A and B are shown apart, each in its own frame.
Chain A
Amino acid sequence: MQIAEPLQRAIDELNKLPTIGRKTALRLALYILKSKEENVTTLTNALLALKTDLRFCNTCHNISIDEECEICKSTRRDKSVLCVVEEPSDVIAIEKSNEFNGVYHVLGGVLSPLSGKGTDDLNIDSLVKRVEHSDIRELILALNPDTEGETTALYLARLFKNSNLNISRIARGLPVGGDLEFADQATIGRAFIGRIKVE
């Protein structure tokens, strides 16, 4: 049977989303088709707002409404402790643990030649500038404990070897090959307390 073109288009677009297979895409498209028009408009606007109302923080590259994000703007955060993460989702996960009161730097990925990610493709230059121009004492590398995360942490540790920074890693408590995003709050909390110094 031929599927009507607008329906097919919706299925194709939904199918591009992560974790959405063909069958789920079809189910979602049919659900939306049957929904009230005002609900669909609300959904569409919410999705559009992600692109129009949000941006990335000029300082830390986290998701932000303004040029600078809430965390960077806050006067209650300890600006001398910087936590380096891969993605904005890691910031959300760490914030939920309530164990960290410093500020963040989102790299936007990790080193991975196979995915075309080298040092120029990550927010490393801006990290170097931040370290040079502000009073940062401690750098916590909160990257996933898989091979790409390990390598990126090693690269950064070497990059700042000659600075006076205190560099530590949180890895303990997180399973090897595990994902920071999916670790539970208690595990992340323990990992922060038990962070280890990088030589």
Chain B
Amino acid sequence: MVLKSIKLSNFRLHKDTKLEFSDNLNYIAGGNGQGKTTILEAIYYLCTSRSLSGSPDSEVTSFGCEFFEVGGTFSDLASNDVRIYYDSNAGKKSMFLDDKQFYRASGIIGRFPVVTLVQEDHAITMGSPGDRRKFVDSVISQASSAYLKILIEYNKTLRQRSFLLSQIKENNSPKLFNQLSAWNATLVKNGSELIRHRLAFIERFNEYLSNSYSRVMESKEIPAIHYSFHDETDKDKIEETFYDKLSELKDDELRRAVNLVGPHRDEFYFMINDRELRKYGSQGQHKTFQIALRFGEFFFLKDALGKSALFLLDDVFGELDTFRAGRISEYLKEVGQAFITMTDFSKSELLKRTGEDLLMNVSGGNVSYA
């Protein structure tokens, strides 16, 4: 799948920008605050209906404007048009696929898969367990709409159950306990499904990760993600373990009115040569790991979905040494279509560019082809 063209209106600095893209690598160069990352953000909007940086729609609208609009044409087996329109007076976003309106982000997620490598990725290896869960969830959700649906239901179950726990804390009635046992059953059912999906995913993904890692960094280091649900190795016993843990922590849960057991508390351990990256990794190992995770995600999704995701790389070359920058640009040739922003194009000689690649310069929200 490739993105052929894009059109932005009142989208941050871009009052009216139309771009045609190369099917290969698209380099977008420009100084800070000139609107180059905004192009990645707009592409991300088309694929997910949301902002890449997590900004609310109102913030994305150019100052003083009544709406923003992003449109784009994807080409796969057939051609598809996506359009996102935000009315800032009504605070309302409308989304269209081939001029037919759809109402939920889940209507589009996974259809136009997208992989991003951004500065904020440092949180995946350095941040909290929640950052790692978010990474894992976003990859599996793009590969499996079933997973996304269960995840949404599971999160609802968590909200319902913690509210019920706080009701029980106030009023210790047997009726509420009967309801709690029904919510426990739903929690365990949906939660165990998620855990089994995650186990199967990590098992497959580790191979993609180590492949990508060795491509980015020529070394004997072996990366891996370790994951288990309370050390339960038998996939058929997840439910049993889940119930055991629930009864073990029952008093704590009631006292604190918090869900203490389940995949929302999972930890994914990132390892290099069996040593935990978060504790022992160097800056360079962290960076390589982050890059390998995203390349691994790209090739995993390609196999899982049978189509290439759009690969968005925001300013990654700036902080890399010449050796790794060269290796990554070599590796990118296998990706297909990618969108790569850079602040400084003087380093461009170390990129292995071909004639099919496109170079754009962005300044003050205006784009020119170089």
Interface residues of A (CB under 8 A from B): 111-114, 118-120, 146-148, 150-152, 154-155, 158, 175-177
- B 147-181 binary contact with A (CB < 8 Å = 1; else 0): 00110111011011101100100000001101101
Q: Given A147-B153, A147-B156, decide whether A154 and B182 contact each other with a Cβ distance below 8 A.
A: yes
Min CB distance B223 to A, Å, is 34
Q: How far is the CA of A55 from the CA of B179 in the complex (A)?
A: 29
We find that the number of chain B residues with CB closer than 8 angstroms to chain A is 25
Q: Given A112-B160, A114-B159, A147-B160, decide whether A176 and B179 contact each other with a Cβ distance below 8 A.
A: no
Select one of B163, B178, B179, B186 contacting A147, CB under 8 A: B186
- B 187-229 binary contact with A (CB < 8 Å = 1; else 0): 0011000000000000000000000000000000000000000
Nearest A residue to B183 via CB reads A151
Min CB distance B340 to A, Å, is 37
Q: How far is the CA of A151 from the CA of B158 in the complex (A)?
A: 12
Q: How far is the CA of A158 from the CA of B179 in the complex (A)?
A: 11
Contact check, A177 vs B152: say whether CB atoms are below 8 A apart. yes
Q: How far is the CA of A151 from the CA of B180 in the complex (A)?
A: 10
Min CB distance A156 to B, Å, is 9
Kindly list chain B residues whose C-beta atoms are within 8 Å of the C-beta of A114.
159-160, 163
Contact check, A118 vs B176: say whether CB atoms are below 8 A apart. yes
Min CB distance A104 to B, Å, is 22
Contact check, B185 vs A176: say whether CB atoms are below 8 A apart. no
Kindly list chain A residues whose C-beta atoms are within 8 Å of the C-beta of B176.
118
13 further contact pairs, Cβ within 8 A, besides A146-B153, A151-B182: A113-B160, A113-B164, A113-B167, A113-B179, A119-B178, A119-B179, A147-B154, A147-B156, A147-B186, A148-B160, A150-B186, A176-B149, A176-B153
Kindly list chain A residues whose C-beta atoms are within 8 Å of the C-beta of B167.
113
Contact check, B181 vs A119: say whether CB atoms are below 8 A apart. no
A to B CB contacts below 8 Å, 13 in the list? A114-B159, A114-B160, A118-B175, A118-B179, A119-B178, A147-B157, A147-B160, A147-B186, A150-B153, A150-B186, A152-B182, A176-B153, A177-B149
